[in-house]
Amino acid sequence: MQDLWRLSAADLAALVRSRKVSAKEAARAGLARLDAVNPALNAVIDHRPEDVLRQAAEVDAQIARGQDPGLLAGVPVTVKVNIDQEGFATTNGLKIQRDVIAKSNSPVVDNLRKAGAVILGRTNCPAFSYRWFTTNLIHGDTKNPRDAALTPGGSSGGAGSAVAAGIGHIAHGTDIAGSIRYPAYACGVHGLRPTVGRIPGFNAALPERPIGPQISAVSGPLARTVNDLRISLAAMAARDVRDPWWVPAPLEGPTVSKRAALCLNPDGLATAPEVKAAVSDAGKRLERAGWTVELIENTPPMREAVEWQTKLWLGDGYEAQLAAAEREGDPGALACLRGNRTKVTPFDQADYAKALTRRATLTREWLLFLEKYAVVLMPVSGELPFPDHFDRKDEASFKRVWEAQLPQIAIPFMGLPGLTVSTGLVGKAPVGVQVVSGRYREDLCLLAGEAIEAGGVPPSPIDPVA
């Protein structure tokens, strides 16, 4: 049983619950895998083996007492370094936050622990979680295990890299503009951005977030199987009164017709041929599984959603964000803010009011569209995963990255769920599809996702490739 780290979370939890494997054995296997491959990846930037084994011992003790340890019994998972974990620094990739030591857990960490998970380590992100590339001045560069020349994605790049390489069975990530969906895409695994309000969030160690992040940023899981996303969503979504946006919505909604829309060039996106082929292939996989798939020319508006989402994310308090980035001195964060200045400033009270008004209108259009279709299939990105640090190559490359990420930036503005399903490789580069559904219908994303997954996925977990 030395290769426990290779198992799905669901299979490992079943073994632990049935006492065929102890949580401590699973934890030791997870720690050994971390020691073996993390030096080449720098996916996990902080972990304490003695604390990991203590958590595992608690799970074993529960089982010995005849108690149910939860859905994720003994499963090693990672959490992103931008959320609170008691006793650890909530750095968000920043030197200026190296001394922000959490005195309590964020709701998602508490929920994972209540479900029996063992927190294996904390994963890297870019400074301020701004970019689709993962490097910073405090923790360094994270590598993509499939090809070190490619970005591991961002901002949950450490999460994507870790789970693809077998460091933990599930990775926690956060997503305001693709930060779960893109690392899953770049690393060849699956990632779920849930509906706003589905998974409770709060970081007591940091100031309250402005309204833009409150209504669009979420926590969610990355994993190697769609079923592991399903069980980790159930674990993470438990009630926590600290998040006033949390909604007690059922995890399973009413049965609907298996009808999907397929859009290759949403709102005029110039989608690369290899990406188009992957999205089309995902549609064929759904058809083989009994779905009706309709090719459509366009979705409801996405470009306008991108414009407003970028303003709410970066324009609200822009000068304060820029001042903090200048104090930090991180080149990638400064490039992100300076490169978007003209798009997000000025952002005054009238702009704020218009953003929130348009959010209601565009969300309504999307929800009406998603009454007709259970899901819509579209690109995760207009291009294959970018070379690492491509956004800092020159101004044209910066613009090219931001244009390609249109499908990721738009969806959070409406608060909708989005699922990345990895479907294959083009050379060493992973490729996949984004599945979007109505609010609180992650179950439909996952249902379609499993049918797509059944058609084949890149092998994982994998050993790092230089």
Secondary structure string (H, E, C) spanning the chain: CCCHHHCCHHHHHHHHHCCCCCHHHHHHHHHHHHHHHHHHHCCEEECCHHHHHHHHHHHHHHHHCCCCCCCCCCCEEEEECCCCCCCCECCCCCHHHCCCECCCCCHHHHHHHHCCCEEEEEECCCHHHCCCCCCCCCCCCCCCCCCCCECCCCCCHHHHHHHHCCCCCEEEEEECCCCCHHHHHHHCCEEEECCCCCCCCCCCCCCCCCHHHHCCCEEEEEECCHHHHHHHHHHHCCCCCCCCCCCCCCCCCCCCCCEEEECCCHHHCCCCHHHHHHHHHHHHHHHHCCCEEEECCCCCCCHHHHHHHHHHHHHCCHHHHHHHHHHHCCHHHHHHHHHHHHHHCCCCHHHHHHHHHHHHHHHHHHHHHHHHCCEEEECCCCCCCCECCHHHCCHHHHHHHHHHCHHHHHHHHCCCCEEEEEEEEECCEEEEEEEECCCCCHHHHHHHHHHHHCCCCCCCCCCCCC
Give the residue with greater pLDDT, 465 vs 338.
Answer: 338
The average pLDDT across 9-14 equals 98
Query: Among residues of the chain, what percentage have pLDDT more than 70?
Result: 100
Q: How confident is the model at residue 50 (pLDDT cuts 50, 70, 90)?
A: very high
The pLDDT tens digits of the residues spanning 15-33 come to 999 999 999 999 999 999 9
Q: How confident is the model at residue 466 (pLDDT cuts 50, 70, 90)?
A: confident
Please report, for the chain, the start and end positions of each structural domain, with discontinuous segments joined by +: 4-453
Does 133 score more than 80 pLDDT? yes
The pLDDT tens digits of the residues spanning 428-442 come to 999 999 999 999 999
How high is the pLDDT of residue 241? 98
Does 120 score more than 90 pLDDT? yes
pTM to 2 decimal places: 0.98
The average pLDDT across 124-130 equals 98
The pLDDT tens digits of the residues spanning 230-281 come to 999 999 999 999 999 999 999 999 999 999 999 999 999 999 999 999 999 9
Q: Given this structure, which CATH class describes domain 4-453?
A: alpha beta
Q: How confident is the model at residue 1 (pLDDT cuts 50, 70, 90)?
A: low
Q: How confident is the model at residue 205 (pLDDT cuts 50, 70, 90)?
A: very high
How high is the pLDDT of residue 465? 87
The average pLDDT across 287-294 equals 98
State the average pLDDT for the chain.
98
Q: What positions carry a catalytic annotation?
A: 80, 155, 179
The average pLDDT across 447-458 equals 98
Q: How confident is the model at residue 188 (pLDDT cuts 50, 70, 90)?
A: very high
How high is the pLDDT of residue 457? 98
